[in-house]
Amino acid sequence: MIRTRFAPSPTGYLHIGGARTALYCWAFAKKHGGTFVLRVEDTDRERSTEASVRAILDGMQWLGLDYEGPYFQMQRLDRYRALADQLLASGHAYPCYATRDELDAMREQQRARNEKPRYDGRWRPENAQRAGLKPPAGAQPVIRFRNPDAGEVTWHDVIKGPITIANSELDDLVILRADGIPTYNFGVVVDDIDMQMTHVIRGDDHVNNTPRQINIYHALGQPLPLFGHVPMILGQDGERLSKRHGAVSVMQYLEEGYLPEALVNYLARLGWSHGDNEKFSCEKLVEWFDFEHVSRSPARFDPDKLRWLNQQYIKEADNERLAALALPFLQRDGCTVERGAPLASVVGLLKERVSTIEELADAAVYFYRELEPSEALRQQHYVAGIKPALEELQMRLAGVEWNRAHINEAVKSVVAGHKLKMPKLAMPLRVMVTGEAQTPSIDATLELIGREQVLARMKKQLQSFPV
Ligand code: GLU
């Protein structure tokens, strides 16, 4: 039975890199009828926040990643203590009383000798005894894992292939702090054992932690899961993706008007491929996903491609759904949507032309409130000589049956009667009524804006028209 997990630390927003790893783990578990677990690694008491836990849960929900859990490490302290005791009893761990100052001084000396700073094992029982060290009265020790001195650790990474790291590279790491809170490398092993993970998949910033964790599995006498390390996401400039490249928080994409299926599709494809497929549903991802096709090199984040995908999904999306998504943006923009055209019809007219819901809402504003045309547009389109034709159109529009076909007929007959070319009339009309030069077809646009508004806006604009 496949079991995978996502184990974020709630110390900020949900990063899209984390979301991508979560997505891969989720898709893999789904594909094999297994279980995907969410575990919140909240042991960093200073940096963990409730708001960040919320952002993780909201982000997972928005992306549609369902899970078993969430589990919280801070609710499992007894378990870490119990397994640390087991390691103490079997001689794989020992208490260390070295103070921070002492450890700083040790590292200072190592650096001075051009050595890599590492814990020197001074509280290993045999060393402490030889040096005559005695536990200071009343001091709470940390627990250190006794890493093997010799040999090497090898695993077959499901993404990167075989990786070997020598034990001489590793030192005796702290597994339990004096306050009983586990360090990352210990908490993660205890949890991955207890939660029966078959695959531990995470960002490749953790490659160096994996041999330490493997040694702990061995010391606990537990079988290993498979490990896989997903390469990082880089910005366009090749630097690790960060805020200065744009939005990196999942929820920010919601706020900017992306559809979750577009972000899921984009993240899935970013660093994994299935043939030439660029646009695919979540169901297809689940059907196709494997670790063999996760790229071994870092992926570059391409905001334009994400926008393109979002545009494709917006085009296909149901109008009622788009209307509900656009509504808060319009309300923020001061539009009273209830009093104007049905929003679903408006978004139906506009959705081919936008890349985000925010753009969709921006494009819909003139259906709900008057937008004053810019001086440049007026100068360009409010040309002398066209006023009589517009006045005639105004009169006709006051009388026609208010639907697209009749509006179109009225425009055409005025164009013909004044021997104009269509744009000569349609452009100023458009600018007068919408404040913009680009809109969907003018008849459909006017129909939705409504007769009363159209005539009022025309009247107002005609007053400032050159003769
Ligand atoms: N809490 C760790 C992180 O956010 C989890 C790494 C792992 O999946 O083991 O980086």
CATH at 354: 1.10.8
Domain limits for position 134 = 77-230
Confidence tier at 86 by pLDDT (50, 70, 90)? very high
CATH of the domain at 389: 1.10.10.350
Q: Indicate the DSSP class of residue 74.
A: G
Instruction: State the pLDDT at residue 19.
Output: 98
C-alpha to C-alpha distance for 466 and 76, rounded to whole angstroms:
77
User: What letter would DSSP give residue 111?
Assistant: H
As a whole number, mean pLDDT of residues 28-36 equals 98
For residue 388, the CA-to-ligand 1 centroid distance in Å is 71
What's the whole-model pTM score? Answer: 0.94
**Residue 173 pLDDT exceeds 80:** yes
Q: What is the pLDDT of residue 393?
A: 98
**Ligand 1 atom nearest 18 alpha carbon:** 4
Query: Measured between alpha carbons, how far is residue 108 from residues 98, 103, 117, 118, 123 in Å?
Result: 15, 9, 8, 10, 18
Rounded-to-integer distance, Cα 220 and Cα 214, Å: 10
* Sheet with 35-40, side-by-side order of all strands: 3-6, 35-40, 68-72
Domain final residue, candidates 336, 369, 402: 369
Residue-wise pLDDT tens digits, 361-417: 999 999 999 999 999 999 999 998 999 999 999 999 999 999 999 999 999 999 999
Distance CA(14)–CA(5), nearest Å, equals 15
Using 50, 70 and 90 to split pLDDT, how confident is the model at 466?
confident
- pLDDT digits over 305-356, tens only? 999 999 999 999 999 999 999 999 999 999 999 989 999 999 999 999 999 9
Mean pLDDT calculated for residue range 219-226: 98
- Of the three residues 326, 353, 369, the one that is the final residue of a domain is 369
Which of 76, 184, 207, 213 to mutate for ligand 1's pocket (most ligand atoms within 8 Å of CB)? 184
CA distances 152 to 148, 168, 169, 212, Å, are 9, 8, 9, 11
Task: Note whether residue 436 is domain-resident.
Answer: yes
Is residue 328 located within the same domain as residue 410? no
Give the C-alpha separation, 107 to 119, whole Å: 8
Examine residue 269 and state whether it is found in any structural domain, yes or no: no
Instruction: Tell whether 82 and 214 lie within a shared domain.
Output: yes
Residue 17 near ligand 1, beta carbon < 6 Å = no
The 3-state DSSP class for residue 36 equals: strand
In this structure, the residue with its CA closest to atom 3 of ligand 1 is 8
pLDDT in the model for residue 384: 86
What atom of ligand 1 comes closest to residue 8's alpha carbon? 4
Query: How many domains is the chain partitioned into structurally?
Result: 3
Q: Is residue 102 part of a domain?
A: yes
Ligand 1 centroid – CA 184 distance (Å)? 8
Same domain, 383 and 407: yes
Max CA separation in the chain (angstroms): 110
Q: Are residues 347 and 437 in the same domain?
A: no
Q: How far is CA 120 from CA 109, 115, 172, in A?
A: 11, 11, 8
7 C-beta closer than 6 A to ligand 1: yes
Checking if the pLDDT of 467 tops 80, the result is: no
pLDDT 10s digits, 252-267: 999 999 999 999 999 9
- Whether 424 and 452 map to the same domain: the answer is yes
- Please tell me whether residues 99 and 215 are part of one structural domain: yes
Tokens 């706020």 label which residue? 255
Q: How far apart are CA 323 and CA 362, in angstroms?
A: 13
Per-residue confidence (pLDDT) for residue 353, from 0 to 100: 95
Yes or no: say if 83 and 90 are a contact pair by the CB < 8 Å rule. Answer: no
Report the atom number in ligand 1 closest to the C-alpha of 202. 8
For residue 444, being part of any structural domain is answered with yes
* Pair 149, 216 in one domain: yes
User: Is residue 262 situated within a structural domain?
Assistant: no
User: To 10 degrees, the CA torsion angle through 89, 90, 93, 95?
Assistant: 30
> Which CATH number fits the domain that encloses residue 192?
3.40.50.620
Q: What is the mean pLDDT of the chain?
A: 97
Could you tell me if the CB of 192 is within 6 A of ligand 1? no
Residue 131 inside a domain? The answer is yes
What is the model's pLDDT at position 133?
A: 96
Contact 63, 55 (CB under 8 A): no
When pLDDT is cut at 50, 70 and 90, the band that residue 247 belongs to is confident
Q: Name the band, by pLDDT with cuts 50, 70 and 90, for residue 244.
A: confident
DSSP string over 320-368: HHHHHHHHHHHHHTT--GGGSS-HHHHHHHHGGG-SSHHHHHHHHGGGT
Domain co-membership, 358 together with 391: no
Is 243 assigned a catalytic role?
Answer: yes
> How would residue 6 be classed by pLDDT, with cut points 50, 70 and 90?
very high
Of 301, 336, 369, which closes a domain? 369
Asked whether the predicted pLDDT for residue 42 surpasses 80, the reply is yes
Instruction: Please check whether residue 71 lies inside any domain of the structure.
Output: no
Structure tokens, 99: 């103070």
Query: For ligand 1, is residue 8 a contact (CB within 6 Å)?
Result: yes
Same domain, 333 and 447: no
Whether residue 82 is found in the same domain as residue 226 = yes
Q: Is 209 in the pocket of ligand 1 (CB under 6 A)?
A: no
Q: Is residue 204 part of a domain?
A: yes
pLDDT category at 24 given cuts 50, 70, 90 is: very high
Q: Are 262 and 250 in contact (CB under 8 A)?
A: no
Do 121 and 193 share a structural domain? yes
Question: Could you tell me if 412 and 454 lie in one domain?
Answer: yes
Question: What is the model's pLDDT at position 243?
Answer: 87
